[in-house]
Amino acid sequence: MSESYDLGRQGEEIATHFLAEKGFKILKRNWHFGKLELDIIAIDNNTLVFVEVKTRSADYLVEPELSITNKQRGFLIKAANAFIDTHSYDMEARFDIVSIVIHPQGKDIKHIDEAFYPYMR
C-alpha cells in the first residue's frame, strides 16, 4: 500500500480511539456505498454522526480539514443518506471532521463538531 494510504488508516485508528474516549459509540468504520466511503459512523448523545478523518504529516501545506471540497461533501452526504436508508435510522444526524497532524513530537488532533451541513437543491 502507499504511504498516504497507510497514513490515512493510521489517522482513522487514532480518530476512532479519540472519539470512543469522548463517549461516542462507534457503529461502523470504512462503510462503503458503491465507490463512496464513510470513514467513521458513530452515535453521540442520540445523534448519528458521520465523521470524515483527514490526516497529514508535519509537512502539510493546508490544515487537513480545509482539504475537503464541496464535491467531496456532496459524496459524503450521498453516502450518509444511503446509510440512513439502508439501516432505517430515525434520529438527528450531523457531519463532523477529525483533523490529525502527525509529526515527530507526537500528534495534534482537532475535532470539529457540525463541520458542515447538507445543502438543499
- HEC string for the chain: CCHHHHHHHHHHHHHHHHHHHCCCEEEEEEEEECCEEEEEEEEECCEEEEEEEEEEECCCCCCHHHHCCHHHHHHHHHHHHHHHHHHCCCCEEEEEEEEEEEECCEEEEEEEEEEECCCCC
Provide the number of structural domains found in the chain. Answer: 1
Name the maximum alpha-carbon separation found in the chain: 45
Whether 104 is in a domain gets the answer yes
Residue 89 has pLDDT above 90, yes or no: no
Assign residue 86 the CATH number of its domain.
3.40.1350.10
Q: What is the pLDDT of residues 28-80, one digit of tens each?
A: 999 999 999 999 999 999 999 999 999 888 766 667 677 788 899 999 999 99
pTM of the prediction?
0.89
Q: Residue 121 pLDDT more than 50?
A: no
- Which residues constitute the domain of residue 90? 3-116
| pLDDT single digits (tens) 95-115 | 999 999 888 888 889 999 998
Q: What is the pLDDT of residue 70?
A: 86
Residue linked to cell 456532496: 74
Structural domain includes residue 121: no
